[in-house]
Structures are given as C-alpha cells and as structure tokens.
Amino acid sequence: MGQPLIDLRNITKSFDGTMVLDDLNLSVKENAFVTLLGPSGCGKTTTLRIIGGFESPDKGQVIFDGQDITSLPPNKRQLNTVFQKYALFNHMSISENIAFGLKIKNKPKAYIKDKIKYALRLVNLDGFENRTVSSLSGGQQQRIAIARAIVNEPRVLLLDEPLGALDLKLRQDMQYELIRLKNELGITFIYVTHDQEEALTMSDTIVVMNQGYIQQMGSPENIYNEPENAFVADFIGESNIVPGIMVRDELVEIFHAKFVCVDKGFGIHKPVDVVIRPEDIDLVAPEEGTLTGIVTHLIFKGVHYEMEVTTPDGFEWLVHSTDMFPVGQEVGIHVNPFDIQIMNKPASEDEEAVGINE
C-alpha cells in the first residue's frame, strides 16, 4: 500500500473571484473506488478537472505516483476521463472512437483491432464496431465512452456523473457493470455523483463535499452510520437531526426525555446535535416510549410506511416502519442506544448555515 497514487495537496481554485475549492486535501490509494459526493455546484467536476489537467489550481499541488504533475497537460497524464455528457466523437464510427487514443499513440493496427474487440466485449457491446454514434442509445453511448477510456489502460479512470443521464433501471444495471469492470481491470476509479445511493452502493471511500470543502471522508458504512456533522447526516439518506444535551457519557437528553446512547467524551451538559435515522425509530405503545407523539402523516412507500410523528414540542419525526400506525394515533418513540448518533454542534453560526442550506 504505502504512498497514495493521487495526492491533492492544498488545492485552491476560484473562478472570477468566487472560491470553488478551498484548501482541498485528498489522497487516493491505488485500486481504490473513491466517490466525490455533494450537491450541485460544490466543486466535484472542478476537482476532477484539476486531476485530469483541464483546469489548473490557483494554489496547491497534484501529485501522481510521487511526481508533481500540477502543470502537466492532460494529454501527458496517465489517466483517462469519462465525461459528464459522454463527449463522443460524432464524426467517427464506434471503433474509431475507441481507437482514438491508441492511434494517437501509434499503436500497431492489429493491436488496436484486438483492443477494440476486447473493450466492446467488456462493455457488452460486441459487434458495434461500425455503428455510428447517433444510432446508439444513451446507455450504449455511455458504455462506448467508458470503452474509449479504458482501452488506453489508464492507471486511474475519472468518471464525472457517468450515469446521470440514464433512467433508474439502466442506472442500476450500469452501476453493477461498472463495479464488475473495475474489478476486472483493477484500476483506480475516481467517481463523481450527486446521488447518495449510487455513492453508497459503489464506492469503497466516499468523500462528501459541500461548497468547496470536504465535509467527511470514509467508508460508506462509516459515512452513513456516523456522520460527522449535520450536513453529512442530512445529505446521506434521510435523517432526523435534533438538538440535544449530553447529560453525561452515554446519556443524552432530547426534548426533556433521556435517551441512552453509546457515545462518550462529549462532556457534561454539553449541547449537541443528535442524528437518528428514520428506520431506526421504533414506534411502540405510548407508555413504552421514551417520548410520545401523534402520527400526523402517513404515506405508503412500497417497502415501508413513511410516517411523521409530531411530539409536544412541535418537532416532526420522520419514521420508516413496516408497521402502520394511522394518522391521529398516539405512539411512543423508542430508539436503540447504538442507533443514536451524537455530533458536536457546529463551531459557528456560519458553519451551521452552510450545512443546513443545501
């Protein structure tokens, strides 16, 4: 393992005076599947373009395999990109599209031919050699864009929302295809998406970004179960974020009710934010609950029911459950200690505003 394959050091980038990336640090290990996740405009594409060499940072360095490549043009970098909107060459056939990079590198004809065949098989489009770009569906064009990139055997593949334009079913199919491809090829993926489910499904490391900052970086489980701040908790899946007071270690007070939790070290009588996932709330009989409330909303969602339970203090708890409680019924709220996630309050009002706005 040892040193990272790609290392972004103190990257700062602004466009027309607006800061887009602010002192960004990111390390990517060889063979990792890293996903940059964040709301639209948070700087994901910009980060990717800096790695690809299409944008140069105002400050900071891009290190690739131990070498500073900050000022190396894109055509000299050992990585390839799958662009947000495919960017295929319309004036070329499919095989010419795939062959483009290899022809530039003056590879022998026979080698190129083999590679085209291999790449088309890899993306399940055998026999598409002589088709035109415009005759392909969106999903097929997407796969050609991937094939065009991987025939060059890059050490890193950058993918910018490659599935963004596809419908749900196709997107899920392609997610599996991509994971399969990655395992077959054994190359490093840096993947951009604003779809949190996609990020959770595919990656081994998720980098949650907002407004040019990295909010949290970790494994999908880590990000989902232990969000470090309200922004991450809110962005990754649905959640209830409520103010609480840490009474002591392993005991938190929410709306004057005391919940047992597993978090320690926050201090005594310290205000905190508490995250509870909607699926982690058990609705029980009123006398058995730590808090009681009234069901104020009920929607059938297929796999589960989505309910809103309003507690006397006015907070609306989002609850997912396979049990149905009709609107108007009084219920008790119970949460298992390990399903309660405690976060420090944001240091300043500003930071909080940043987190909640998006």
Partner 1 sequence: MSKKILSGPYIMWMIGFILIPLALIVYYGLTDRSGAFTLANVLSVTSPEHAKALWLSLGLSFISTVLCLILAYPLAMVLRSRGMGQGSFIVFIFILPMWMNFLLRTLAWQTLLEKNGVINGILTALHLPNQNLINTSGAIILGMVYNFLPFMVLPIYNVLMKIDDNVISAARDLGANSVQVLFRILFPLSIPGIVSGITMVFVPALTTFVISNLLGGSKILLIGNVIEQEFTKGSNWNLGSGLSLVLMIFILISMALIAKYDKNGEGTAF
Ligand X SMILES: Nc1ncnc2c1ncn2[C@@H]1O[C@H](COP(=O)(O)OP(=O)(O)OP(=O)(O)O)[C@@H](O)[C@H]1O
Q: Binding string to ligand X for residues 28 to 57, with x set by CB under 6 A, is what?
A: ----------x-xxxxxxx-----------
Task: Give the residue with the Cβ less far from partner 1, 16 or 287.
Answer: 16
Q: Are 259 and 250 in contact (CB under 8 A)?
A: no
Q: Which is nearer to partner 1, 45 or 341 (CB)?
A: 45
Which neighbouring-strand residues pair with 156?
A: 79, 188
* CB nearer Mg ion, residue 40 or residue 348: 40
Q: Which is nearer to partner 1, 101 or 293 (CB)?
A: 101
Site for ligand X in 306-325 (CB under 6 A): none
Instruction: Check binding of 215 to ligand X (CB under 6 A).
Output: no
Report in angstroms how near the CB of residue 104 gets to partner 1 at its nearest. Answer: 4
CA distance linking residue 57 with residue 47, whole number of Å: 9
CB of 129 to partner 1, least distance (A): 13
Q: Cβ 43 to Mg ion, closest distance in Å?
A: 9
Binding residues for partner 1, per CB under 8 A?
52-54, 73-75, 80-81, 83-85, 87-93, 96, 100-101, 104-105, 148-149, 152
The structure tokens 């010419």 sit at: 96
Could you say whether residue 354 binds ligand X (CB under 6 A)?
Answer: no
**Exposure string for 62-71, b = 16+ CB within 10 A, e = fewer:** bbbeeeebbe
Beta bridge partners of 244: 272
**Three-class SS state of 273:** strand
Mark the segment that binds Mg ion (CB under 5 A) among 44-52, 121-129, 208-216, 264-272. Answer: 44-52
Task: Please tell me the distance from the alpha carbon of residue 280 to that of residue 291, in angstroms, as a whole number.
Answer: 14
Is residue 65 within 8 A of residue 58, CB to CB? The reply is: no
Decide: 28 and 190 in contact? Cβ < 8 Å.
yes
> What CA–CA distance (Å, rounded) separates 188 from 322?
39
Q: Which strand (E) or helix (H) includes residue 353?
A: helix 349-357
Query: Given the complex with partner 1, which of 89 and 176 has the nearer CB atom?
Result: 89
77 scored as a contact of ligand X (CB under 6 A): no
Q: Total residues at the site for ligand X (CB under 6 A)? A: 12
Query: Closest residue to ligand X, Cβ-based?
Result: 45
